[in-house]
Homo-oligomer: A and B are copies of this chain.
Amino acid sequence: MNSELIIALDAMGGDNAPEIVVEGAKIARERYPSVRYLLFGDEAKVAPLVAQHAQLTGVTTVHHTDQAISGEDKPAQAVRRGRDSSMGLAIQAVREGDAVVAVSAGNTGALMALSKIMLRTLHDIDRPALASLMPTLRGESVMLDLGANVECSEENLIQFAVMGAVFARSVLGLARPRVGLLNIGVEELKGNDEVKAAGRRLRDAPLPMEFAGYVEGDGIGAGDFDVVVTDGFSGNVALKTAEGTAKLIYGLLKQVSAANFLTRLGLFIGRQGLNALRDHLDPQNHNGAVFLGLNGLVVKSHGGASASSFASAIGVAADMARHDLINAIHEDLKNFGGGEELPAAVSAE
């Protein structure tokens, strides 16, 4: 478990690649001394950056490719032409067992499509989900799906709950995470049929998690739930609405301080605590969305991540790999009643 973790990095993905990828790898190596890297990208650009950091020498191998997926590439194009891109090769390294996890700050749709087609879903999972950490009043919670599946069946939601709980056990270190299903508050209409059916079946699940019922949108930030499960449409709306509301409040703060000297002064005097608050809410500090349910681990970093934030995504990747997330998901699904023996190829990984 504490042996070396080899992580494949898409050196060309994201707004500030390859600089922040290499810089982020350096920071993550300081935080997690057991990680080693396979870097995929344009060697002429990447190798000199690696050479600048003594921390990376000896633990980093650069693999050249002159192909890269752009932010504008459609998922279908990525699938057709992207396998030899820096992103495709990083995923390929996971498939071949050369790395335990791949991290990319590139195009989300392309990463999802390539990951699905190259790694395939776990045989007891119908659809993979995108999961991430959200800041709460008590720390962090896991939310999924954040946009991979626009419409979800009862079965999908149950699988998301199981995968989310495994993720919370691994990355948040919780023995028995509290899991909630996102729902709406108007009594007569408590959710659609899928949510209600999934809720009924999760209530008695014999799993290392506590299914705590329904959570409404205002319960996400309260942190009463460690895992919030929903379909990809609502999850994406909730994630972005939360980010947008934080931006709204910062924007209003600017407006009032521009108009009111005492408020400006007060915010200046109080800046130390206010900056800590801002850091806690900053999506950069909760970086690392995870594709759960694939036959291999893939982490998506924000495209505009800073080096430190990219290092956080590498940290999420390392945590998942260390906790053998894929086998844990499989084990829980088997106990829930849906799974079977894992194929040898995955068990061996």
> Which chain B positions have C-beta within 8 A of A281?
248-249, 252
Q: Assess the A274–B270 pair: CB atoms within 8 A.
A: no
Minimal Cβ-Cβ distance residue in B for A277: B252
> Which chain B positions have C-beta within 8 A of A113?
188
Q: Assess the A269–B272 pair: CB atoms within 8 A.
A: no
Q: Which of A74, A218, A262, A267 has the most CB of B within 10 A?
A: A218
* CA–CA, A213 and B335, complex, Å: 45
Q: Assess the B150–A192 pair: CB atoms within 8 A.
A: yes
Q: Assess the B187–A75 pair: CB atoms within 8 A.
A: yes
A239-254 near B? 1/0 per residue, CB < 8 Å: 1111111111101110
Report A263 CB to chain B, min CB distance, Å: 3
Instruction: Check A266/B277 contact, CB under 8 A, given A74-B187, A187-B74, A217-B244.
Output: no
Q: Assess the B188–A112 pair: CB atoms within 8 A.
A: yes
> Which chain B positions have C-beta within 8 A of A75?
187-188
Q: Assess the A263–B256 pair: CB atoms within 8 A.
A: no
> Which chain B positions have C-beta within 8 A of A238?
217, 237-238, 241
Q: Assess the A217–B188 pair: CB atoms within 8 A.
A: no
A147 an interface residue at 8 Å Cβ cutoff?
Answer: yes
Q: Assess the A147–B221 pair: CB atoms within 8 A.
A: no
Q: Which of A136, A151, A269, A270 has the most CB of B within 10 A?
A: A270
From A41-49, A171-179, A228-236, the one touching the partner chain is A228-236
- Which of B135, B148, B251, B269 contacts A248, CB < 8 Å? B135
A64 an interface residue at 8 Å Cβ cutoff?
Answer: no
Instruction: Check A253/B277 contact, CB under 8 A, given A112-B188, A238-B238.
Output: yes
* CA–CA, A220 and B262, complex, Å: 29
- Which of B151, B230, B246, B247 contacts A192, CB < 8 Å? B151
A121 an interface residue at 8 Å Cβ cutoff?
Answer: no
> Which chain B positions have C-beta within 8 A of A244?
216-222, 242
Q: Assess the B108–A186 pair: CB atoms within 8 A.
A: yes
A75-116 near B? 1/0 per residue, CB < 8 Å: 110000000000000000000000000000001110011000
What residues make up the interface of A, taking CB atoms closer than 8 Å to B?
74-76, 107-109, 112-113, 135-137, 147-148, 150-151, 182, 184-189, 191-192, 216-222, 230, 232-234, 236-249, 251-253, 255-257, 259-260, 262-274, 276-277, 280-281
